[in-house]
Structure 1
Amino acid sequence: MNTHAIPAARTGAQDYLAGKGAAWFAYAMTVALMLMDYIDRQVIVSLFPYMKNEWGLSDVQLGSLVSVVSVTVALGALPVALFADRVSRVRSIAAMAAVWSAATLSCMFMRSYGALLAARSLVGLGEAGYGSVGAALIASHFPERMRGALLAGFFACASVGSVLGVVLGGAIAAHWGWKAAFGVVGVPGLVLAALYLLVRDYRTVRLTPVLTQATRSSAHAARHVTQSLTRSRTLLWVCIGGAAQLVVVSAVWSWMPSFLNRVHGVAPEQAARQAALVVLCGALGSVVWGAVADRAGKRRPVARLQAMALMCVASLAVLSFAFGAGAGFGAQGQLALIALGSFLMTCTVGPVAAIVIDVVHPGVRATGSSVLALFQNLFGLALGPVLAGTVSDLWGLQAALACIPCFALAAAAAFLAAARTYVEDMGRASEAPAAPLPHALRTAQA
């Protein structure tokens, strides 16, 4: 087991933390677990038609099985990231993966809606903080010039994992029953959790007195987060914008198999495959728009946020038209329009994480990223599926999916507001000292 920590202070913004080999191994393992994170999270959406038929669940109940994961992720993200920043990123990630994988396995044994909802909440508890801690580990292993694209690729794996989860769920359910899907996808995460202990960790940098006090407990951290959001307008607006856009993403991806099954009469297994193509377009879009945002911000940093705002508005226009009037183009034509909207709506996934890292102290990158994760999960990923389910129970699923993209307009406004303070906040963060740890603490963490 290789748990040797690398002092973060001895590496510059243009250096690899422990060499290219160690960096790319860390990236590969972190990406693999991100895939499993979202496979386990999203496998359930292709099972909705089976569950609705067998258990007679409402759309609000079905949406809640997705949303509860995001709620527990949001509630646990801050304390998990706080622990990881001060102790060990690698061991924290390995423990998280073991918990969420075991909880996924347990879902196959549940015999009631309440028990399944509780098991799904444990999946979210295990996944809490993974995105923020994983992003911080990647950012610390690679030079600054590569972070935007690499983080876009890392978060794109959420889309790819969602694709695999939807496809695997539909295929397994068709052959062995919907409960078996949880068992099949839960095992690989346990294996990866053990292998992750081979990843090289980094030692945290010494904090300022204010940050030392802030990271003493979750309560202190919560107060510091509130102060940080007040002080850093960029962080606040980016968190709001990122969450608002994820309302759209989570609603569309969670309900696509059911939309195809109900509106176009597509069989559940085939609906899962077609929905997976929509999600795959989103995965591709997150990488493309991450690179576009990096390029736009190379000479003028605020252009990164302005480009994101523009793409949010474009996603609103395409998706609202696709779900509202797209039926006139036939089933395949409507699916193509929705796929285009999915390609556009993931434009914020990578850039928002890079922007948050740009405007926080280097010693609390994971904790800073967890603030973004809190907003994204609680006010984005958790809200989208259950809100769409609520509207669907009232007006129908097609009407719900035509209305939800309006949240993209709020996202665009938030990113334009963040552009006003981005350069100032980025400069303040870059001036933060990164002194080496005291000898006693270095010895304790070695």
Structure 2
Amino acid sequence: MSSTTAVAPSTTPAVSSARTSYYALLILSLINLVNYLDRYIVTVALPYIKQDFQLTNTQAGYLGSFFMLVFMLASPVSGFLGDRLPRRYLVAAGVLLWSLATGASGLATTFFALMVARACVGIGEAGYGAVAPSIISDLFPRQQRTRVLSFFYIAIPVGAAAGYGLGGWLSEAYSWHMAFFVGGAPGLVLGVMAFFMPEPQRGAMDGPEAQTKLPFLVGLQGLASNKSFWWTTAGYTLMTFSIGGLGYWLPTFLVNERGMSPGTAGFSSGAVTATAGLVGTLAGGWLGDKMDRRMEGGGLRMSGVGLLAAAPLMFLAMKVDSHVPMFAIIFLAQFFIFLNSGPINAAIVNGVPPAFRAFAMGLNVLFIHMLGDAISPTAIGKVADLSSLSFAIELNALPVLLGGLSLLMAGKLFRHVTA
């Protein structure tokens, strides 16, 4: 896609220092860690919340689904603004909002009040999630993007693990209210720091032809015909449905069907997720860059193979009663899933014009959550009420398999876009 509208001279100083770029990457990655810490605290606190508010599995699933519903609807709006306004201000405002809302979750005395607080967390996270990858793509050249985005997305397993561990310990030792109070505190500091991050020029690392404004309707028309983007989004959505549902229900499964205490379940889930996620994400960043140098869409093809390998492992893990073998299989499944974090997101930012990246990320976020983990916690809870939680998680391996096939197709169709 191209544009005939020249970009206005930037009033923001150019970001040329590698030190400055890595400083911004560090701040954004720490924010992403806190993002997932706050998101996963609720999953390990869920048994206590269910007990206090007398909830069924289906009702408990609403808490996760409502959060995702708000988050996904707000993401395209944030992406639209992110292509037009200083992105660091959107990041800072989003972090401060969701951190205050996380703390407010601990004050909730009714299930409705807790739902409202979690909705505000969703709005804040949307203000950050849609624009952060576009900032990173303007700080680093294409040859490094998969690796630096992998570093950014390491925060997902590490933050999830911290949420599991911190939420489990605080909920058991004190109360689920205390878990939310503590979880909301770090984001207040990082939100203030985000105001002082560099603001790179859009397309700064893609050559002069990339530094142009793109009329919204022109960009939307080009995105609509971008087959690789939609196949990537389909694969990402199927993966998100499955991994989001698993992450939401795994601690409860370990407590109810494997006899663990909430604290042990949270710590064990967190340790496995953090280790598999860290190793898988770093390996995926390195392999993704290597595969992309060998062929267009190489990282996406690798991601597809990873999901195909993970699907049977997810199914097998629920068939094993002994804790050590079960966690070993879960580790392998998560390793193959987390291979995809850097390559998938690098493919999205590299496959659309620089001036349309934030909106493309926001639209991607809309779909992966609207048809993914916005509905999977409730869907898995409903299947669990009708049969068992173990059967519901076994069935959850099917979307991973289909997601792998979608990413293989996306890799075949991928073409890099610079303007």
Kindly state the Cα deviation for residue 208 of structure 1 after the two structures are TM-superposed: 6.2
Provide the residue aligned with 1:358 in structure 2: 350
1:26 matched to 2:24? The reply is yes
Distance 2:79 2:395 in 1: 34
Kindly state the Cα deviation for residue 416 of structure 1 after the two structures are TM-superposed: 2.2
Go from structure 1 to structure 2 and tell me whether the alpha carbon gap of 1:213 and 1:286 turns closer, same or farther (over 3 Å shift).
closer
Could you tell me whether the CA contact under 8 Å between 1:41 and 1:69 is conserved in 2? no
Provide the residue aligned with 2:5 in structure 1: none
Could you tell me whether the CA contact under 8 Å between 1:247 and 1:384 is conserved in 2? yes
1:297 matched to 2:297? The reply is no
1:337 matched to 2:329? The reply is yes
Q: How many residues align?
A: 403
Deviation string, structure 1 residues 32-91 (Cα, Å, up to 9, x no partner): 110111111111111112122222211122222222222211101111121122110111
Deviates more, 1:198-207 or 1:369-378: 198-207
Deviation string, structure 1 residues 242-291 (Cα, Å, up to 9, x no partner): 11111121122111111111111111111110111232123432222232
Deviates more, 1:114-123 or 1:337-346: 337-346
Deviation string, structure 1 residues 307-352 (Cα, Å, up to 9, x no partner): 21111111001111111x222xx12211221222122222322211
Report matched runs for 1:153-232 at 5 Å: 153-204=151-202, 211-214=214-217, 225=220, 227-232=221-226
Instruction: Select 1:247's aligned residue among 234, 241, 263.
Output: 241
Distance 1:114 1:348 in 2: 36
* Letter in structure 2 aligned against 1:399: F
* Letter in structure 1 aligned against 2:217: A
Instruction: Select 2:109's aligned residue among 111, 130, 134.
Output: 111
* Letter in structure 2 aligned against 1:407: P
Provide the residue aligned with 2:207 in structure 1: none
Provide the residue aligned with 2:4 in structure 1: none
Is the partner of 1:326 in helix, strand or coil? coil
Report matched runs for 1:260-339 at 5 Å: 260-280=254-274, 281-323=276-318, 325-327=319-321, 330-339=322-331
Deviates more, 1:379-388 or 1:357-366: 379-388
Identity of matched residues, %: 26
Provide the residue aligned with 1:13 in structure 2: none
Is the partner of 1:42 in helix, strand or coil? helix
Go from structure 1 to structure 2 and tell me whether the alpha carbon gap of 1:347 and 1:384 turns closer, same or farther (over 3 Å shift).
farther
Report matched runs for 1:389-404 at 5 Å: 389-404=381-396
* Letter in structure 2 aligned against 1:186: G
Uncovered stretches (5+) of structure 2, i.e. residues with no partner: 1-9, 204-209
Is the partner of 1:420 in helix, strand or coil? helix
Is the partner of 1:179 in helix, strand or coil? helix
Distance 2:127 2:339 in 1: 22
Could you tell me whether the CA contact under 8 Å between 1:204 and 1:363 is conserved in 2? yes
* Letter in structure 2 aligned against 1:103: A
Kindly state the Cα deviation for residue 4 of structure 1 after the two structures are TM-superposed: 6.9
Distance 2:99 2:278 in 1: 23
Provide the residue aligned with 1:439 in structure 2: none
Deviation string, structure 1 residues 357-411 (Cα, Å, up to 9, x no partner): 1111111221122122222222222233222112111111111111101001221
Could you tell me whether the CA contact under 8 Å between 2:142 and 2:350 is conserved in 1? no
Is the partner of 2:352 in helix, strand or coil? coil
Distance 2:156 2:128 in 1: 12
CA RMSD after TM alignment = 1.9
Could you tell me whether the CA contact under 8 Å between 1:326 and 1:337 is conserved in 2? no
Could you tell me whether the CA contact under 8 Å between 2:97 and 2:121 is conserved in 1? yes
Could you tell me whether the CA contact under 8 Å between 1:6 and 1:18 is conserved in 2? no
* Letter in structure 1 aligned against 2:375: L
